[in-house]
Amino acid sequence: MNILILGGGGREHAIAWAFAQNPKAERVFCAPGNAGIAEDVETLSLDVLSGERILAFCRENDVGFVMIGPEAPLAEGVADALRAGGMLTLGPGRAAAQLEASKAFTKEICEACGAPTAASQTFTDPEAARAYVRTEGAPIVVKADGLAAGKGVTVAETLEAAEAALEAIFDEGAGARVVIEEFMTGEEASLFVLANGEEFVTLGTAQDHKRAFDGDTGPNTGGMGAYSPAPVMTPEVTERALAEIVRPTLAEMARRGTPFQGVLYVGLMIEAGAPRLVEYNVRLGDPEAQVLAMRLGGQLLDICLACAEGDFSQAKVTFAEDHAITVVMAAQGYPGSYAKGEPIGLPVIDDPRLKIFHAGTKAAEGGIVSNGGRVLNVTARAATLREARDLAYEAADRIDWPGGFLRRDIGWRAL
Ligand code: AMP
Ligand code: GLY
């Protein structure tokens, strides 16, 4: 079968690498891909927001399955368009993608199905929002309602910070909506499930590191590293999260006539063994996909196909008792402004336990250059997290890119 993956980051490199290992995969295409993806599968440029163009490409190239990596095409309804065109596709339609695209919608679903989450209220009126913040006091969490590439959330330690966050959101203009939430304490972790309607399989757990610098300091980023499994997600906590959050949510989505199909990324806060929902995403995480794909390998394709086909009976997943870690190398200045086009010297890797997934890279004359904020994901798997971490950092230290930086403490919580 020929397969098309939409996206061009570290997540899509990991998906492409895993899919390509499965004998079911004949030609694997990735649009737009990046320099690293182009070494493993075929890349092409294609408007990933245009269902029509994607369908035309699939017809011309005998593609039988489309995997949608990032949230933007999902929120735009690309999965609806592809399925309407008869294409086997993994990813929710526009209505179900609201679970990521609107934080107010997710709150409404949690309330309707009784899933535990932070107490919250949604506002469109700036005065009412300010009054609520003053009544509740700090710390408090202020979230812009829509997709904001991870930049829409302010965990405000003070009233001033909360009011500044409100001002920034309402300054965006008419129609701005804000969710104001109780500040939750505990440990964060993510649970990944592949769902079709009310049926699902668990892909695994992971923890990422959102802050830019060591010791979880500095500004929030898309994620500077991740590891899987997350020790805080014990079998008991996982079962509670499935029973109290995932199953009720899937049932509520089905009841509304908008069943969820695709990857449900369940962001959790765990305190005293009790999980509460922080957020949903409707796709694999980046860089969490890198560690999940590293552990699942070619099986990832089998379970994605089973999910898209709505028949999990044939999906046999063997979860190895191993650990994976990924360390992100980012351009100095990220998540603020940074340089692009810097040459990167990559080491030759001939260890099957190691893989450098590319995020923001581009092929140039003479080699590879940086082309984004997060640029490389040095990923390793081993019997223990410690071993995997040592492998990853040894490989990262062989990368020749003076303009890059990485965190030295990925996995610290579990080690
Ligand atoms: P989100 O985009 O909703 O995942 O929020 C980004 C990050 O903000 C999360 O990963 C948490 O670290 C933090 N956060 C979000 N909501 C809360 C909350 N209610 N309490 C504490 N921290 C939160
Ligand atoms: N690493 C966080 C995310 O993918 O949303």
Exposed, middle or buried by CB within 10 Å (0-12, 13-18, 19+), for 350?
A: exposed
Judge whether 13 lies within some domain: yes
The answer to the question of residue 155 being in a domain is: yes
Question: Domain check: are 24 and 86 in the same one?
Answer: yes
Beta bridge partners of 330: 374, 405
Cβ 55 vs Cβ 14: under 8 Å: no
Q: Residue 82 C-alpha to ligand 2 middle, in angstroms? A: 25
Tell me the CA–centroid distance for residue 222 and ligand 1, in Å: 13
Judge whether 269 lies within some domain. no
Taking the centre of ligand 2 as the mean of its atom positions, its distance from the CA of residue 353, in whole angstroms, is 23
Ligand 2, closest atom to CA 286? 4
Distance (Å) from CA 379 to ligand 2 centroid: 16
- For residues 6 and 88, membership in a common domain is answered with yes
Is there a single domain that holds both residue 73 and residue 140? Answer: no
Q: Are residues 64 and 124 in the same domain?
A: no
Whether residue 372 lies inside any domain: the answer is: no
Do 123 and 180 touch, CB atoms closer than 8 A? yes
Atom 4, ligand 2: which residue's CA is nearest?
285
Are 378 and 390 a contacting pair, CB within 8 Å? no
Give the amino acid at 389: R
250 to 39, 373, 403: CA distances (angstroms): 38, 35, 44
Choice from 141, 151, 280 to test ligand 1 binding pocket (greatest atom count within 8 A of CB): 141
pLDDT for the residue 320: 77
- One-letter amino acid for residue 77 of the chain: G
Pairwise CA distance, residues 275 & 239, whole Å: 10
The whole-number pLDDT of residue 152 equals: 82
Give a yes or no: residue 343 inside a domain. no
> 70 and 134: one domain?
no
pLDDT of the residue at 172: 75
Q: Domain total for the chain?
A: 2
| CATH number where 134 lies | 3.30.1490.20
Look at residue 151 in the predicted model and tell me its pLDDT. Answer: 66
Cα Rg for the chain, rounded, in angstroms? Answer: 21
Query: How many C-beta atoms surround the C-beta of residue 135 within 10 A?
Result: 7
> Which CATH number do you get for residue 7?
3.40.50.20
Nearest CA to ligand 2 atom 5: 285
Q: What's the CA-to-centroid distance between 284 and ligand 2, angstroms?
A: 8
Q: What is the pLDDT of residue 224?
A: 98
pTM for the whole structure: 0.96
Which residue, of 164, 182, 200, is where some domain finishes?
182
- Do residue 140 and residue 65 come from a single domain? no
The residue from 77, 93, 109 where one domain ends is 93
Q: Do 73 and 127 sit in the same domain of this protein?
A: no
pLDDT at 147: 79
Q: Is the CB of 288 under 6 A from ligand 2?
A: yes
Q: Has residue 392 been placed in a domain? A: no
Question: Where a domain ends, among 76, 93, 110?
Answer: 93
**Residue with the nearest Cα to atom 13 of ligand 1?**
155
Q: Is residue 15 part of a domain?
A: yes
Report yes or no on 41 lying in a domain.
Answer: yes
Q: Find the domain containing 9 and state its range.
A: 2-93
Residue minimizing CA distance to atom 11 of ligand 1: 278
pLDDT for the residue numbered 314: 79
Q: By the 8 A CB rule, do 129 and 166 touch? A: yes
Nearest ligand 1 atom to alpha carbon 143: 3
- CB of 208 shorter than 6 A to ligand 2: yes
pLDDT, one tens digit for every residue, the chain (415 residues): 999 999 999 999 999 999 999 999 999 999 999 999 999 999 999 999 999 999 999 999 999 999 999 999 999 999 999 999 999 999 999 999 999 999 999 999 999 999 999 999 999 999 999 999 999 999 999 999 987 766 688 999 999 999 999 999 998 776 789 999 999 999 999 999 999 999 999 999 999 999 999 999 998 899 999 999 999 999 999 999 999 999 999 999 999 999 999 999 999 999 999 999 999 999 999 999 999 999 999 999 999 999 999 999 978 778 778 999 999 999 999 999 999 999 999 999 999 999 999 999 999 998 999 999 999 999 999 999 999 999 999 999 999 999 999 999 999 989 8
| Ligand 1 pocket test target in 117, 143, 155, 190 with most atoms within 8 Å of CB | 155
Q: Are 154 and 316 in contact (CB under 8 A)?
A: no
CA of 73 to the centre of ligand 2 (A): 16
Q: Is the CB of 267 under 6 A from ligand 1?
A: yes
222 touches ligand 2 (CB under 6 Å):
yes
> Quick one: which atom of ligand 2 is closest to the CA of 223?
1
Judge if 66 and 133 occupy the same domain.
no
Spacing, Cα 206 to ligand 1 middle (Å): 16
Please identify, by atom number, the ligand 2 atom nearest to the C-alpha of residue 208: 1
Q: Which two tokens stand for residue 305?
A: 């196909």
Q: Which residues pair with 323 in a beta bridge?
A: 382
